[in-house]
Chains A and B, each alone.
Chain A
Amino acid sequence: MAQLFSNEMYPSSPALDERSRDLRRLVIDALDGGGRGHLGSSMSLIEVFRVIYDDVARHRPEEPMWEERDRCILSKGHGCLALYAVLAAHGYFSKQEMLTFCHFPSILGGHPERSKIPGTEASTGSLGHGLAIGVGMAIAARIKKRDTRVFVVMGDGEINEGSVWEAAMSASKHKLSGLTAVVDYNKLQSYGRTREVLDIEPLADKWRAFGFETVECDGHDVEELRKCLSRPLGTNKPTMVIAHTVKGKGIAFAENEPAWHHKSRVPADQIQAMYDALAEDA
């Protein structure tokens, strides 16, 4: 059976609202300033981060290391433009900073770094690291008797890594109900379709078998994401939210196009085409 892309699975997915389009404009600003970036991998993530930072997580942009904040790790570090856009929108740093993306003195590199970017919990880029770090953070919260939530956002290609499943077993063993993992399931990894490169199905069954309370949703439907992310879903187990997303979401010509996983030397006319495509999506 052919694998459906998420916009085929969710034909009635709501149109992007102004907030979602504003965040995407920030991503395009960075692409414009840096001349490069993982467009497709970032656009699929916007609503996940938007909901975590707008509606769910306890956090203080004016005090990024606030002890009682919830932790959010972007494990698929190449999706960093989505994280940067949401952090900038919340005032962790100036929106103008997006234009410096990947430049020599910038705090914003092609993958996120904890030591440089306010609000960034972990330096990632090599895949398969975030869930183990999240397990450690969730255990730390338990030792301190805090109700801290820890979010770990992974890619679908990323979970090819065996280290993800080592961490999954541990999260389940320790009954880390404060841990919520998300898979950005856009069905495309760098080379092509996940089903063809290394099939990860049956994905929800796998996570259930590994002891996660698992739900699936339209990863661009803000209301659905709020329902899935607003509280831990398992009482004695970690939560997995499989977010069915569209790679390149919002830029029609880039949607579901492997070539837009990462682009370098993006010409000015393509940048303008992206802003235009976003306007048409309204």
Chain B
Amino acid sequence: MRKTCLNLVYELAKKDPRVVFVGSDLGPGVLDDMKREMPDRFFMEGVSEQHIIGMAAGLAMEGFIPYVNTIATFITRRCYEQIAIDLCLHDLPVRLIANGGGLVYAPLGPTHLATEDIAITRTLPNMTVVAPSDADEMARFMATTLDWPHPIYIRLGKGGDPVVTGNQKTFEIGRSVTLRDGTDIQIISTGIMSGRALDAAEALSIDGISVGVIHLPTIKPMDTVAVLLAAKSKMLVTLEEHFKAGGLGSAVSEVLIDANQIPERGILRLGLDDTFPLNYGSQDELLEAFGLQPPGIADSIRTALNVRN
């Protein structure tokens, strides 16, 4: 997903002279082709997140479309005020490419985990928040970023995630994608969790529970029509690789509460508990520890269905 995203920055830069790339001391070799062919539009700055956001704002004020790339947690926590004021208050078309959303950097520990990034970006006016599920979807999404007039936070997975949106031809910011139809329960998920939602839905179907999966690659602006339609099912489940506080589950709940439309057996929010992870290991191991792999997801849904019967 990351490779696709960066390659597309290069492709977009070749066809549109407004595109510039700003990195923050990334690994060697990143976008070497762009650096060689368009040295005036390739910037590898130092470890200075506050500065690169401000610099990108200055470039955007002058008509450029900067794609700023660094690790997700650094591009949100360290420079949050620059994002709020320089980008969102000015409503500038800067794209934040956030590497390692969620638990991708599990072995590196809590300093490198982006587990509240959706919450803190989606609450800023003018911001758009996107978390594609796979490389194919990333490619379709990137093509839409040239002319979107607002800042975008782009949450990247680790890469190599299974392609679950293969049946899609286009990407529209703010539009949901139905990955599976179901009549009893709807799972609304984002990012790489949509693949796990499909596996959990399959497991539940063996028990005779019909589960639909709606993938929300755009968390903001939200596809409220799809969310309200999903709420007509018996129970609505939200699933995310993010703290339960403030993320997709919160955003979906806000829509339902505002519309006074709560499913018969309520909303089940699945995500990370309110704690910094106590372990290292892999992304998959941490997801399992939080009950966010398909068997854990299916168990949580079965339990909730029984308790709320």
Listed in ascending order, the chain A residues whose CB lies under 8 Å from chain B are: 113-115, 121-126, 128-129, 131-144, 162-163, 166-167, 169-170
Residues of B near A167 (CB, < 8 A) are 48, 51, 54-55
Contact, CB under 8 Å: B61 / A142:
no
Q: How many A-B residue pairs have CB under 8 A?
A: 96
What bracket does the count of chain B residues touching chain A fall in? 20 to 34
Contact, CB under 8 Å: B54 / A135:
yes
Contact, CB under 8 Å: B86 / A129:
yes
Contact, CB under 8 Å: B50 / A170:
no
Contact, CB under 8 Å: B54 / A163:
yes
Contact, CB under 8 Å: B40 / A170:
no
Interface centre among B48, B56, B57, B58 (most CB of A within 10 A): B58
Select one of A126, A143, A170 contacting B55, CB under 8 A: A170
Q: Does B149 contact A (CB under 8 A)?
A: no
* Chain B residue nearest in CB terms to A133: B58
Interface centre among B51, B53, B62, B86 (most CB of A within 10 A): B51
Residues of B near A137 (CB, < 8 A) are 58-59, 61-62
Select one of A123, A124, A140 contacting B58, CB under 8 A: A140
Q: Does B158 contact A (CB under 8 A)?
A: no
Residues of B near A131 (CB, < 8 A) are 54
Nearest 4 CB-CB pairings of A with B:
A136-B58, A132-B54, A140-B62, A166-B51
Residues of A near B180 (CB, < 8 A) are none
Supposing A123-B85, A167-B51 touch, asked if A134 and B45 sit within 8 A by C-beta, the answer is no
Listed in ascending order, the chain B residues whose CB lies under 8 Å from chain A are: 20, 40-41, 43, 45-46, 48, 50-64, 66, 81-82, 85-86, 89-91
Interface centre among A136, A143, A162 (most CB of B within 10 A): A136
Select one of A121, A124, A132, A134 contacting B53, CB under 8 A: A132
Select one of A126, A139, A144, A169 contacting B81, CB under 8 A: A126
Contact, CB under 8 Å: A143 / B51:
no
Residues of A near B53 (CB, < 8 A) are 132
Residues of A near B48 (CB, < 8 A) are 166-167, 169-170
Contact, CB under 8 Å: A136 / B59:
yes
- Bound-state Cα–Cα, A158 to B62, Å: 25
Residues of B near A141 (CB, < 8 A) are 62
Supposing A122-B61, A141-B62, A170-B45 touch, asked if A136 and B90 sit within 8 A by C-beta, the answer is no
Contact, CB under 8 Å: B54 / A133:
yes
Contact, CB under 8 Å: B61 / A170:
no
- Bound-state Cα–Cα, A169 to B25, Å: 14
* Chain A residue nearest in CB terms to B61: A137
Contact, CB under 8 Å: A136 / B62:
yes
Contact, CB under 8 Å: A163 / B51:
yes
Pairs A–B under 8 Å by Cβ, sample size 8: A114-B90, A125-B85, A132-B52, A132-B82, A138-B58, A140-B61, A162-B50, A170-B51
Select one of B20, B43, B55, B90 contacting A132, CB under 8 A: B55
Told that A136-B60, A138-B58 touch, could you supply 16 new A-B pairs with CB distance under 8 A? A114-B90, A115-B90, A121-B61, A126-B81, A131-B54, A132-B82, A133-B58, A135-B58, A136-B54, A136-B61, A137-B62, A139-B59, A140-B59, A144-B62, A169-B46, A170-B48
CB distance from A278 to the nearest CB of B (A): 34
- Bound-state Cα–Cα, A228 to B62, Å: 26
* Chain A residue nearest in CB terms to B84: A126
- Bound-state Cα–Cα, A11 to B61, Å: 42
CB distance from B89 to the nearest CB of A (A): 5
- Bound-state Cα–Cα, A144 to B57, Å: 16
Select one of B46, B58, B64 contacting A134, CB under 8 A: B58
Residues of A near B59 (CB, < 8 A) are 136-137, 139-140
Residues of B near A144 (CB, < 8 A) are 62
- Bound-state Cα–Cα, A138 to B61, Å: 11
CB distance from A152 to the nearest CB of B (A): 10
- Bound-state Cα–Cα, A219 to B45, Å: 33
* Chain B residue nearest in CB terms to A138: B58
Supposing A121-B61, A122-B61, A126-B81 touch, asked if A135 and B55 sit within 8 A by C-beta, the answer is yes
Select one of A113, A123, A134, A166 contacting B50, CB under 8 A: A166
Contact, CB under 8 Å: A136 / B40:
no
Interface centre among A138, A166, A167, A169 (most CB of B within 10 A): A166
CB distance from B193 to the nearest CB of A (A): 35
Residues of A near B52 (CB, < 8 A) are 132
- Bound-state Cα–Cα, A29 to B20, Å: 44
Residues of B near A121 (CB, < 8 A) are 61
CB distance from A16 to the nearest CB of B (A): 34
Contact, CB under 8 Å: A128 / B50:
yes
- Bound-state Cα–Cα, A147 to B154, Å: 34
CB distance from B126 to the nearest CB of A (A): 11
Residues of B near A129 (CB, < 8 A) are 54, 81-82, 85-86
Residues of A near B41 (CB, < 8 A) are 143
* Chain A residue nearest in CB terms to B53: A132
- Bound-state Cα–Cα, A131 to B89, Å: 17
